[in-house]
Structure 1
Amino acid sequence: MKLSDVFKSRGEFDLTSGDIGLPLFYLSLPIVITNLLQTAYNLADTFWIGQYSTEALAAISFAFPMVFLIISLGMGLAVAGSILVAQFTGADETEEAEYAASQTVGYAAIASVLVGAVAYVFVGDVLDLLGASPDVLTLATAYMEIISLGIFFMFGFLVFVSLMRGYGDTITPMLVMLGSVVLNIVLDPLLIFGWGPFPQWGIEGAAIATVFSRGLALVVGLWIMLSGRRGVRIRPKDVVPDLAYGRKLVRIGVPASVEGTGQAVAINLLMFIVGTFATPVVAAFGIGVRVFSVVFLPAIAVARGVETMAGQNIGAGKPDRAALAAGVAARTTFVVLTAAGVVTWLFADPLVGLFTNDTQVIEVGSTFLRYVAPSFGFIGIMRSYNGAFRGAGRTLTAAAVAVTMLGGIRLPIAWFASRIMGPPGIWMSFLISNVVGAVMAYLWFRRGTWRSGEPGGQNVSPVADEPADD
Structure 2
Amino acid sequence: MRQNQQLLTEDIPSLIKKLALPASTGMFFNTMYNVIDTFYAGLISTQAIAALSLSFMLFFLIIGMGYGFSSAITSLIGNAFGRKRDHLATLYAHKGIVFVPIVGIVIAAVGFLLAPFIFTLMGATGEYLQDALDYIYTILFGVIFFMANFSLNAILVATGNTKTYRNTLIFGFFANIALNPLFIYGFLFIPAMGIKGIALATVFIQLLNMLYLLKKVLDTKLIHFERLDYFLPHKKIYTNIFNQGFPPSLNMLTMAIGSILLIYFTSHYGVKAVAGFGIGFRVEQLMLLPALGLSTAVLSLVSNNFGAKKYDRVKEILYTALRYGFAICAFGIAFLYIFGEFIIKQFDNDVEVVHFGIEYLFVEVWIFFAFLTLFICVSTLQGIKKPTMIFYVGLYRQIIAKIIVGYLIVKYFQLDIFWLWIGILVMIYSAAIFMFFYTRYTLKKLRIHI
Normalising by structure 2, report the TM-score: 0.93
Partners in 1 of 2:134 and 2:123 — Cα distance? 16
Q: 1:434 aligns with which of 395, 409, 428?
A: 428
Matches of 1:211 and 1:344 in 2, distance apart? 31
Q: Quick one: distance in 2 between partners of 1:276 and 1:284?
A: 13
| Matching residue's letter, 1:223 | K
Structure 2 counterparts to residues 355-370 of structure 1, below 5 A? 355-370=347-362
Q: CA deviation at 1:220?
A: 1.9
Q: Who is 1:98 aligned against?
A: 90
Q: Is 1:169–1:231's contact at 8 Å kept on the other side of the alignment? A: no
- Give 1:196 deviation, angstroms: 5.5
Counterpart-to-counterpart distance in 2, 1:345 and 1:331: 22
Superposed displacement of residue 451, structure 1: 4.9
Structure with greater contact order relative to length (CA < 8 Å, sep ≥ 6): 2
8 A contact 1:83–1:311 mirrored in 2? yes
Q: Which residue of 1 aligns with 2:106?
A: 114
The 8 Å contact of residues 26 and 166 in structure 2, kept in 1 or not, is answered as yes
Equivalent residue number for residue 5 of structure 1: none
**Whole-angstrom distance in 2 between the partners of 1:290 and 1:231:** 37
Provide the aligned C-alpha RMSD in A.
2.1
**For residue 357 of structure 2, what is the amino acid of its counterpart?**
G
Query: Partner residue of 2:416?
Result: 422
Q: Deviations over 1:171-196 (max 9, x none)?
A: 12212232233222210111112255
Whether 1:312 aligns to 2:304 is yes
* Alignment-derived partner of residue 288 in structure 1: 280
- Tell me by how many angstroms 1:85 deviates: 1.1
Which residue number corresponds to residue 445 of structure 1? 439
**Secondary structure, counterpart of 2:174 in structure 1:** helix
Are 2:363 and 1:381 equivalent residues in the alignment?
no
Q: Tell whether the 8 Å contact from 2:4 to 2:159 is kept in structure 1 after alignment.
A: no
Report the secondary structure of 1:92's partner residue.
Answer: coil
Between the aligned partners of 1:406 and 1:12, the Cα distance in structure 2 is 35
- Structure 1 unaligned spans of 5+: 1-9, 455-470
Q: Distance in 1 between matches of 2:436 and 2:106?
A: 37
Question: Which of 29, 42, 48 lines up with 1:50 in the alignment?
Answer: 42
Aligned to 1:4: none
Aligned equivalent of 1:409: 401
Instruction: Provide the residue aligned with 2:248 in structure 1.
Output: 256
Distance in structure 2 (CA, Å) of the matches to 1:218 and 1:284? 33
Q: Which residue of 1 aligns with 2:159?
A: 167
Distance 1:309 1:270, change over 3 A: same
What is the match of residue 363 of structure 2?
371
Secondary structure at 1:120's aligned position in 2? Answer: helix
Q: C-alpha deviations, 1:2-45, integer Å up to 9, x for none?
A: xxxxxxxx969822234211101101111111212222331111
Secondary structure of the residue aligned to 1:275 is: helix
CA contact (8 A) 2:284 2:365 kept: no
Whether the aligned pair in 2 keeps the contact of 1:336 and 1:377 (CA below 8 Å) is no
Q: Secondary structure at the match of 1:158?
A: helix
1:210 is the counterpart of 2:210 = no
Q: Any gaps of 5 or more consecutive residues in structure 2?
A: none
Does the aligned pair in 2 maintain the 1:303–1:383 contact within 8 Å?
A: yes
The 3 A distance-change label for structure 1 pair 451 and 298 is: farther
Residue of structure 2 in register with 1:323 after alignment: 315
With normalisation by structure 1, the TM-score equals 0.89
Q: Distance in 2 between matches of 1:132 and 1:231?
A: 48
Ranges of 4+ aligned residues in structure 1 off by more than 4 Å: 10-13
- What letter matches 1:297 in structure 2? L
Q: Which residue of 1 aligns with 2:382?
A: 390
Deviates more, 1:13-22 or 1:93-102: 13-22
Tell me the equivalent position of 2:63: 71
- In structure 1, C-alpha distance between the alignment counterparts of 2:176 and 2:229, rounded to whole Å: 33
Partner Cα distance (1:121, 1:401) in 2: 28
1:269-326 deviations in whole A, cap 9, x for unaligned?
1111112221110000111111122111111110111111110011101123112211
The residue that corresponds to 2:128 in the other structure is 136
Identity %: 24
Q: Name the structure 1 match of 2:21.
A: 29
Structure with the higher helix share, 1 or 2: 2
Deviation of the 1:402 alpha carbon: 3.0
Count residues in correspondence. 443
Deviation at 1:425, TM superposition (A): 2.2
User: In terms of mean alpha carbon deviation, does 366-375 or 141-150 score higher?
Assistant: 366-375
Q: Distance in 2 between matches of 1:31 and 1:237?
A: 33
Alignment-derived partner of residue 137 in structure 2: 145
Q: Which amino acid aligns with 2:289?
A: L
TM superposition shift of 1:397:
2.1
Q: Is the aligned partner of 1:245 residue 2:237?
A: yes
Q: Give yes or no for contact 2:4–2:81 (8 Å, CA) kept in 1.
A: no
Following the alignment from structure 1 to structure 2, what is the Cα–Cα distance between the partners of residues 160 and 307? Answer: 16
**1:156 maps to what in 2?**
148
1:24 partner letter? I
Return the match for 1:88 from 71, 80, 99.
Answer: 80
Deviation for aligned residue 1:368: 0.9
